[in-house]
Every structure is written in structure tokens, then in C-alpha cells.
Amino acid sequence: MSIQARRERERAERERAIIAAARELAESEGWEAVTTRRLAAEIEYSQPVLYSHFKGKDAIMAAVAVEGCADLAVDLAAARAAATDPRRAVAGIATAYAAFAERRPALYDAIFTLPVDLSFGTKETPVELARAFAELAQTLRPFAGDDDLETFTETFWSGLHGLVTLMRNGRLRRDEHERRLAILVDRFTRLG
């Protein structure tokens, strides 16, 4: 019985190790450096063990993405908590969002842009992402006006996401980044 327990514990540890290795490799060298062979070498097991834990490489990336959601939620919550008034709260959370994307591009990509098998439109959203979204929604609540809060939040979020992704791909002038953020915040915090 106890042996069984140890086995399961070791298995769980190994799964954590896989996710951690994937995340570290992606953050330090980008996702294109994350191959199943390198991952296997990193955890000091052979390739096929990866497939006894995850359905495929996509599933590993999805696991990393879910972890990343938790980090994002923490950052956003901190930004919201630090704000002194509603409008500054929106500015702060927007800055925090952009900073997260810039500081952890690989993680951000895993969550939002890579075609990973995470369909969190409406059904099985990972709870970590729901928390991040809720932080945004709470911050925006005073400015939603007549619009549905969730829809309003989705729209603002899309604005942030667009700014972040277009800039990273070199489609926007980098030096205007803060000005664009300010415009977005300004337009979404007008009352009436």
C-alpha cells in the first residue's frame, strides 16, 4: 500500500518536473527550443515517458499555460489592490498586464496565442484564468455603464491583448507603447 503511494507520489513529482522543465526552457530559449527530446533529457527520462503523462506536446504546453494563468492572476490582483482610486486601478492593471506579457513572453504566448488545446471560451475555463479575468472585471465595474460587465471586460481585455501582441511582433512602434496604453485606459474609463 505504501509502496503504491510512493509510486504515485514519484509520478506526480515527475509530472511537475516535466511542466517545470517545459516552462523554464520556454522562458529562457523560447518555445521553439522546447522539443520532446530536450524535455526528456532535462528530466532525465526517455522520450516516451512524456507520453505516459500527457497526450502530446500540446498538452504539456497547455499545462504550462494553466500555471501561467495563476501568475497572471496574482500580478493583476496585486495591481488592483495597490490602486488608490477606480481610474488609477484600471491604469495600473493595464500596466501590470502589459508588463506580464513583456516579462514572460513565452508564458503569455502559451496562454493566449499558441494553438494549444485549451478551449476556455465559456465551458471548462481553467479556474486560474477565471481569477485573472475576474480581477479585470472588478476593476472595470465602475466604468461599464449600461454595457454587460463581462462583455465590456472582454472588450477591454482584447484591447490589451492586441496592444501586447502587435507590439511584440514588431507591428507597432515600441516608443509609443505607454501612450497607447493611456489612450485605451482613457477611452474605457469615461463615464456617461
Partner DNA sequence: CCAGAACTCTAGCACCGCTAGCCAATCTGC
Partner DNA sequence: GCAGATTGGCTAGCGGTGCTAGAGTTCTGG
Say which amino acid occupies 29: E
By beta-carbon proximity to its own copies, the closer residue of 18 and 110 is: 110
Q: 3-state class of 48 per DSSP?
A: helix
160 binds, options DNA, its own copies, none, Cβ within 5 to 8 A by partner type: its own copies
Query: Which positions lie near its own copies, rule CB under 8 A?
Result: 112-113, 115, 118-122, 147-148, 150-152, 154-155, 157-163, 165-166, 169-174, 176, 179-180, 183-184, 187-188, 190
DSSP secondary structure letter of residue 154: H
Render the burial of 12-39: b for 16+ CB within 10 Å, e for the rest: eebbebbbebbbebbbeeebeebebeeb
151 binds, options DNA, its own copies, none, Cβ within 5 to 8 A by partner type: its own copies
DSSP secondary structure letter of residue 51: H
By beta-carbon proximity to its own copies, the closer residue of 2 and 169 is: 169
Say which amino acid occupies 119: S
Distance CA 106, CA 110 (A): 6
By beta-carbon proximity to DNA, the closer residue of 61 and 163 is: 61
3 binds, options DNA, its own copies, none, Cβ within 5 to 8 A by partner type: DNA
Query: Which positions lie near DNA, rule CB under 7 A?
Result: 3, 7, 11, 14, 34-38, 45-49, 51-52, 56-58
Distance CA 16, CA 5 (A): 17
By beta-carbon proximity to its own copies, the closer residue of 48 and 170 is: 170
